[in-house]
């Protein structure tokens, strides 16, 4: 059986690309770091891959807002390539800046390039928030990345992580992850580090195959990366690894 192939999309300012590639490789996939210019020039083809991952970072310096320029590259220069990729049954993952780009390109909460229906904006605290957060998985979510997972403990690092949407969009949104306290209860700041409406930390499309989240699972792949590693939790994989393992396992059937 051939290995699942993952395209890790790069652009100027990406800084979590190698970590994301490593996470997928640990899950058994083969990864390629591909600059967006290579896709625009048709030097690389999305259809050669089963998974596209857009990692975190500060693409194009976030000069027009977090992920906005990358979103415009996807929207105006790739056109329907990403929606067609999704329609073919493949997977898309956006982490932090990648999530922001998917939202602003109109791919989340549903793949409609050019029709932005939600946004990710400045944290209520007015500052960059960098800490580990508790997350609860929505049991009713169709997201295949979180299958079999109830709780997660992952790091966040962002200045623009607040999910906002009109009430009619919010009510139909496929919410995957919620910011919660240690007991799993929604508790507001600082447990919700950015003020996201309904404490939303991640969303997916109706198919469950396009998933975006603000926390960084690629920074929690090894047990030794968890903050409580000094208590002996250094063996095996970190909590974020399960998201990548689920994706690769599912993609093997494509």
Judged on CB neighbours under 10 Å (0-12, 13-18, 19+), 183 is: exposed
Told to judge if 168 belongs to the known catalytic residues of this protein, a careful annotator would answer: no
The answer to whether the beta carbons of residues 79 and 113 sit under 8 Å apart is yes
Distances (CA, A) of 112 to 23, 81, 106, 118: 28, 11, 5, 12
Judged on CB neighbours under 10 Å (0-12, 13-18, 19+), 142 is: middle
Sequence-separated contacts (24+) of 232-238 with Cβ below 8 Å? 237/26
Q: How many C-beta atoms lie closer than 10 Å to residue 53's C-beta?
A: 26
Helix (H) or strand (E) segment spanning residue 70: helix 68-72
Quickly tell me which residue has 């029709």 as its tokens.
115
The answer to whether the beta carbons of residues 176 and 213 sit under 8 Å apart is yes
Catalytically annotated residue among 73, 158, 216, 239: 216
Asked, as a colleague might, if the bond just before 109 is cis with ω within 30 of 0, I would say: yes
Antiparallel, parallel or unpaired: β 174-180 and 200-204: antiparallel
Told to judge if 96 belongs to the known catalytic residues of this protein, a careful annotator would answer: yes
Within 13 A of 16's CA, how many CA atoms are on the CB side?
27
Q: What angle do CA 122, 168, 82 make, to 5 degrees?
A: 70
Catalytically annotated residue among 16, 96, 143, 204: 96
Catalytically annotated residue among 19, 129, 218, 239: 218
Map residue 19 onto helix, strand or coil.
Answer: helix
Told to judge if 73 belongs to the known catalytic residues of this protein, a careful annotator would answer: no
Catalytic amino acids?
96, 216, 218
């Amino acid at each position: 059986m051939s290995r699942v192939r993952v395209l890790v999309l790069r652009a100027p300012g990406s800084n979590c690309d190698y970590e994301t590639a490593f996470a997928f490789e640990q899950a058994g996939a083969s990864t390629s770091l591909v600059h967006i210019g290579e896709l625009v020039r048709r030097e690389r083809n999305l259809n050669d891959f089963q998974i596209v991952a857009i990692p975190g970072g500060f693409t194009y310096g976030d000069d027009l807002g977090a992920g906005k320029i990358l979103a415009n590259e996807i929207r105006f220069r790739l056109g329907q390539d990403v929606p067609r990729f999704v329609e073919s049954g493949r997977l898309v993952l956006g982490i932090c800046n990648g999530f922001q780009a998917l939202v602003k390109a109109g791919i989340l909460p549903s793949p409609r390039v050019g029709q932005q229906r939600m946004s990710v904006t400045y944290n209520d605290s007015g500052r960059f928030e960098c800490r580990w957060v508790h997350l609860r998985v929505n049991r009713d979510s169709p997201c295949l990345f979180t299958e079999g997972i109830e709780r997660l403990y992952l790091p966040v690092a962002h200045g623009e992580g607040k999910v906002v949407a009109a009430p009619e969009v919010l009510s139909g949104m496929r919410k995957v992850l919620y910011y919660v306290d240690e007991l799993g209860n929604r508790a507001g700041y600082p447990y919700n580090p950015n003020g996201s409406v309904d404490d939303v930390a991640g969303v997916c499309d109706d198919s469950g195959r396009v998933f975006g989240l603000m926390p960084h699972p690629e920074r929690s792949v090894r047990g030794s990366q968890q903050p409580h590693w000094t208590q002996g939790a250094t063996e095996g994989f970190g909590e974020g690894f399960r998201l990548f393992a689920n994706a690769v396992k599912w993609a093997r059937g494509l």
